[in-house]
Amino acid sequence: DAKTTQPPSMDCAEGRAANLPCNHSTISGNEYVYWYRQIHSQGPQYIIHGLKNNETNEMASLIITEDRKSSTLILPHATLRDTAVYYCIVRTLTTSGTYKYIFGTGTRLKVLA
């Protein structure tokens, strides 16, 4: 199964862009990259996902390298409420045809006032 590697922690100034890197060098061609975040005492919340192309939604942008071995989640204007643990996840297919997530250990992002 593909694994992801993330830095354990990062700081970002409020109003600045937060760039969270992730390595997934063993990812297979049909495995998607997902990003979730978890605010203290809550369940993880979906942010964005992608396969090959860069993606953008109202929360964030996802940049995936051409070789698909790494990606970066970008929060364009970080606020204090973005302080959370961010998980980079590879979605893989099981033998039963169900999609399952393989979580990394996450990056604890602290947004500073």
Partner 1 sequence: DVKVTQSSRYLVKRTGEKVFLECVQDMDHENMFWYRQDPGLGLRLIYFSYDVKMKEKGDIPEGYSVSREKKERFSLILESASTNQTSMYLCASSFEGPYEQYFGPGTRLTVT
Q: Residues 21, 72: contact at Cβ < 8 Å?
A: yes
Residue 12 CB, nearest distance to partner 1 (Å)?
21
Provide the minimum distance between the beta carbon of 75 and partner 1 in the complex, in angstroms, as a whole number. Answer: 18
Residue 17 or 26 having the CB closest to partner 1:
26
Tell me the sheet residues that pair with 89. 34, 103
Q: CB of residue 77 vs partner 1: minimum separation in angstroms?
A: 24
By beta-carbon proximity to partner 1, the closer residue of 47 and 78 is: 47
User: How far apart are alpha carbons 112 and 13 in whole angstroms?
Assistant: 5
Judged by beta carbon, residue 14 or residue 102, the one nearer partner 1 is 102
Is residue 112 classed exposed, middle or buried when 0-12, 13-18 and 19+ CB atoms within 10 A define those classes?
exposed
- The residues of the shown chain that bind partner 1, judged by CB under 8 A, are 32, 34, 41-46, 49, 87, 91, 94-106
Query: Given the structure tokens 């998980």, which residue do they identify?
Result: 87
